[in-house]
Structure 1
Amino acid sequence: MAVPWKSQHKSALISLLILSLTHLSTPEKDVHDLLPLYNLPKGLLPSDIKSYSLSNTDSSFTVELSSSPCYVNFNGQSVYYDRIVKGKLGYGKVSGVSGIQAKKLFFWVSVDGIEVDEKNDLIEFHVGVLSQKLPAKDFQTVKSCKAKGLADSLDSLDASL
């Protein structure tokens, strides 16, 4: 003989079914929306993101860009993003960065860490033992990738202003 289901069991089963369907239909968060959860500005990465993954265990991430080459100008500072950018997210910082380079004079140097300086409202980029700080407001807007020639002309335009 079958045991009748109590109404509380039916309600729990229906709630579980609705919860699982809601979870399946929820769109994946945009990587730019995840950055503020780590106290990082949305504009640290360009808009041209093809895909990304974020580890739940150690917060390491991999971002794949849809366009290459990818150059972005942040208030006179040229930045190059490889097709693949990796690192490990922490609150207010990114460590173990690979795939991002900044132009210093005539040389491109690899950025290996990024840190938020909340007190001074700056973003600090680490290149080995050296670092450079830029205003955090420059990274509030998500920018698009540009081709190198266009990025160079933007540098020239910014320098002349």
Structure 2
Amino acid sequence: MAPFFNKLLLTLSLFSLIVSPQRSLSSSIHDLLRSKGLPAGLLPEEVKSYKFSDNGHLEVFLDAPCLTKYENRVYFESFVTANLTYGSLIGVEGLQQEELFVWLPVKDIIVNDPSSGLILFDIGLAQKQLSRSLFDIPPRCKNENGGGLRNHVRKEKGFEALR
């Protein structure tokens, strides 16, 4: 009777591993960023899911494009990609930052020296250093409504969107 009971217990245990959600084995994107020496707040709370491959390729999925603010406004498309290594997101696509009423793509995000408390943002035309403390907590986003959220912000300030 004991061998049958042991087999039954083993079968039930294996079945529960297959059927039950794997919450303990998965982590949030914010936990992944922390484990790679980056602050969790580089990506918004509204991240729906992500894929991270062994070669460092990161794909981040949001329900919809969204707008938030660190020092300046930033715009996340619904799909953001980058190469994630320790201390950096290189080749970022799907993230833009507003500089003087112009939206510029963020190319790279790098923490060269964690003790400095600074994060380097490469926005193509320039590099900008921001305080790491701005990114401690994942920000909340305002969802993009039909492609007009970035233009709506400009209209509030008295600027019409150029098309």
| Common topology (TM > 0.5) | yes
TM, length-normalised to structure 2: 0.74
Deviation, structure 1 residue 45: 0.4
Partner of 2:75: 80
Partner of 1:143: 139
Partner of 2:160: none
Write the deviation string for residues 69-95 of structure 1: whole angstroms up to 9, x where unpaired.
x111113x1111111100010100010
CA contact (8 A) 2:88 2:109 kept: yes
Q: Distance in 1 between matches of 2:118 and 2:16?
A: 42
Partner of 1:65: 62
Deviation, structure 1 residue 118: 1.4
Q: 1:32 aligns with which of 17, 25, 30?
A: 30
Deviation, structure 1 residue 151: 6.1
Q: Secondary structure at the match of 2:115?
A: coil
Percent identity over the alignment is 32
Q: Distance in 2 between matches of 1:84 and 1:138?
A: 23
Q: How does 1:48-127 map to 2 (within 5 A)?
A: 48-55=46-53, 57-68=54-65, 70-75=66-71, 77-116=72-111, 117-127=113-123
**Number of residue pairs matched?**
142
Partner of 1:158: none
Partner of 1:41: 39
CA contact (8 A) 1:72 1:151 kept: no
Q: Secondary structure at the match of 2:38?
A: coil
CA contact (8 A) 1:42 1:140 kept: yes
Alignment RMSD: 2.9
Gaps of 5+ in 2: 143-148, 158-163
Gaps of 5+ in 1: 156-161
Deviation, structure 1 residue 21: 4.9
Deviation, structure 1 residue 33: 1.2
CA contact (8 A) 1:98 1:111 kept: yes
Deviation, structure 1 residue 144: 1.1
Deviation, structure 1 residue 152: 6.5
TM, length-normalised to structure 1: 0.74
Q: Distance in 1 between matches of 2:14 and 2:120?
A: 41
